[in-house]
Amino acid sequence: DLGDFLAYRATGCRDVRSVCTTGCKWALDTTSDPGRPRWDPSFWEAVGLAPLPEAKIGADLRDVGAAVEGGVGARAAAELGLAPGTAVGVGLIDAHAGGLGCLAAAFAAHRGSEDPEEARRAVEESMVLIAGTSTCHMISSRECLFVEGVWGPFRSAVVPGFYLQEGGQSVTGALLDHLIDGHPAAPEARRRAEEGGQLVYGALHDELRRMAAARGLDPEAEVGRLTADLHLTPDFAGNRGPVADPHLRGSMVGLSLSATIQDLALLYLSGLQAICYGTRMILDAAKKFGHPGWNQIYVCGGLSKQPLFLREQADSLGIPLAMPRETEAVLLGSAIAGASASGCFASVFEAMAAMGGAAGTVTPRPALRPYHDRKYAVFRRMVEDQLAYRALMASGGGEAENKAAKSGTLNIDFKNDQSFEGMYELQRELGSGSFSTVREGIHKQTNERFAVKVIKRMNLSREDEEALAEEVTILHGINHPNIIKVFDFFEEKDFYYLVTELMQGGELFDRIVKKTFYNEKEARDLVKILLSIVKHCHENDIVHRDLKPENLLMTSADDDTSFALADFGFAKLLRGNTLTEQCGTPGYVAPEILNGVPYGKPVDMWSFGVILYILLGGYAPFSENNQSKLFAKIKSGAYEFHPDFWGNVSSDAKDLIARMLQVDVAKRITVEAAYNHPWVLADADVLSERALDGNLEELRRFNARRKFKAGGKAIVAANRLASMIQQAK
């Protein structure tokens, strides 16, 4: 907010706000209606602050570099020694000003080009690293791309008309200082630095050169190879992106008892490389979600003054680095905004072209790329392993698993010192199935209410018990606001008791069919939540394998927007590349499962497509009373959009369904790509005009038929589905 406050102090204008500060820090919606930023009232109402945005934050929302009326006021002119009326431009957050200053160099490099689009392409093909105590990765694109785990997109937050994604590393320069200051050899390193008239980083770089020469390596070109046996992850203060996990922590592999200055130098180098690999991880995430890539990376900030950091960054990414000759990029970006406001230039782009200077470059060395690729593979494995360790500890794995195999019990340890009956009291029945009954339970000490699945042990085969263990392990280890939470598990003589969150709002489809009005915007909002759920599962290598309406439960009777995915009875951790077990629910099961071929995460996207088809059309895409004919339709992808029900449904919505219901797995849309599909990103007001009221009655009939058929058996067990497939053949 400092930029907006300074504009206010300079001019006295209270209501002017920058789309940079409000979009990046105050949840201003800059993407739904490009060029017309607005506050989303539903968000502020949900957090109980509905009056705050326009009354307290500001309603006069302007792009960077726009002039604030009147310029410098009399009071500020006297305090600053400036002429009254001096132009004041709408400003930026400090790091974003640095991004604008760096991108000006990219823009200026194409000054005078006959192709006016060349400079704008250069902005899109350039990423900016503001690398200091922490590091911001500023990615600009003309297309609105959502990158999971990376902040944004924010329209016009830096360059007018461009969307900004901001990936972050919470500690970078601060991490290096932490590694150095905590090492026993730090005093010697600082003494050498003082004697040599340099910073401690320079003294450690000199030591690394000596170590490289002693090992027969080129002391200028091959210093990076010294850490082949020392690996580090930099998330000492959590991971801001793309893992986006505040609980992630730093880790090291390859430590010894030695504590010499040589060990400190290697630790410093390993820390530098870990920071570089963190950047590579952010760029990989951006490319995964549709960014085309970068021709150069502009670097400013304190770390840009460390030659070894620049060298390792260029080599590890395989992308040239550019260091603007104007080292104070934050001041330059702010000056560009002011110059644009002054009227000296017709636009921010003209100011960038005129004021952006030249840049020096560091070119990557292809010979070192294979080495860094291997180091990066270790880095990613270390991050993934830490997440796996956390899940293992949460599930009571390790030695307990070995005991379970020998004793014939699940032995999932929730650290309960009491029996189930000692902690909970069972109440009314909520539902029942072949193997279990679900009842409401009350915690005897807290009076909190839960859902309790009571499972008769005598009814379970060994395979059933393994599936139950998998379900409990997955639910206990996963954390997502829209996935049902498991709180306790008891393994007792006659029963297993699984204690979960109590979903008191019924099934999602039951809630929808009670509506009087229904439109595509409401359906799209539900789809966004389900996409988030499936993406979280897939990122944790979990395949649900039974996505269907029955498993989408409303949190409460009062909230129409909050639901959770329940019943992970068929869910599986994807320990290899594929699964082979035939399981699921007819009508939602993917063709590859029916064909008996190995399969993986794409089966969930097929089931997702069936659910979306029902949400919009009101009936199932594949429906036959004869099981053999049903399976034949699914395997051939034989469905259609009947004009009577799909005439008012947007073409983008039908396109997304078609991409989900692709029989060819290689062509089926991934959950990451679905996030950036035009229908998912479409303007809320436009989708609200797509009324689906006419399909509500058909949806009510479908829902009634579905619930009638579910009366006997809600879930088709794995062996049952396999038998049905054989009968169909």
Output the six-digit token pair for 374: 């291997």
Under 8 Å between Cβ of 371 and 224: yes
| CA 562/CA 556 separation, integer angstroms | 8
H or E stretch at 363: none
Nearest to 606 by CA among 653, 562, 656: 656
| Amino acid at residue number 498 | L
Bond preceding residue 153 cis, omega within 30 of 0: yes
Under 8 Å between Cβ of 5 and 94: no
Output the six-digit token pair for 659: 């991409």
Pairing state of beta strands 321-324 and 296-300?
parallel
Under 8 Å between Cβ of 118 and 349: no
Residue located via tokens 């401690």: 200
User: 3-class secondary structure for 136-195?
Assistant: EEEEEECCCCCCCCCEEEEECCCCCCCEEEEEEECCCHHHHHHHHHCCCCHHHHHHHHHH
> Could you please report the per-residue DSSP string of 255-315?
--S--SHHHHHHHHHHHHHHHHHHHHHHHHHHHHTT----SEEEEESGGGG-HHHHHHHHH
Output the six-digit token pair for 172: 């970078």
Residue located via tokens 């690999």: 277
Which residue is catalytic, options 245, 315, 488, 546? Answer: 546
Three-state SS at 353 = helix
- Running DSSP on this structure, what letter comes out for residue 239? B
Chain CA centroid to CA 508, Å: 25
| CA 302/CA 130 separation, integer angstroms | 9
- Running DSSP on this structure, what letter comes out for residue 665? G
Under 8 Å between Cβ of 233 and 250: yes
| CA 232/CA 278 separation, integer angstroms | 11
> Could you please report the per-residue DSSP string of 318-333?
TS-EEEESS--HHHHH
Active site residue 525: no
Under 8 Å between Cβ of 582 and 718: yes
How many CB atoms lie under 10 A from the CB of residue 584? 24
C-alpha distance from residue 143 to each of 71, 146, 167, 290, 684 (Å):
34, 10, 17, 9, 18
How many CB atoms lie under 10 A from the CB of residue 182? 10
Q: Is 528 flagged in the annotation as binding?
A: no
Three-state SS at 231 = strand
Output the six-digit token pair for 679: 């229908």
| Amino acid at residue number 444 | K
Under 8 Å between Cβ of 458 and 383: no
C-alpha distance from residue 51 to each of 13, 40, 56, 61, 519 (Å):
20, 12, 8, 17, 27
| CA 295/CA 320 separation, integer angstroms | 7
Within 13 A of 375's CA, how many CA atoms are on the CB side? Answer: 33
Residue located via tokens 């292809």: 366
| CA 60/CA 91 separation, integer angstroms | 14
Under 8 Å between Cβ of 646 and 654: yes
Under 8 Å between Cβ of 142 and 162: yes
Pairing state of beta strands 359-362 and 436-443?
unpaired
Annotated binding site for ATP: 453
Catalytic residues: 546
Annotated binding site: 453
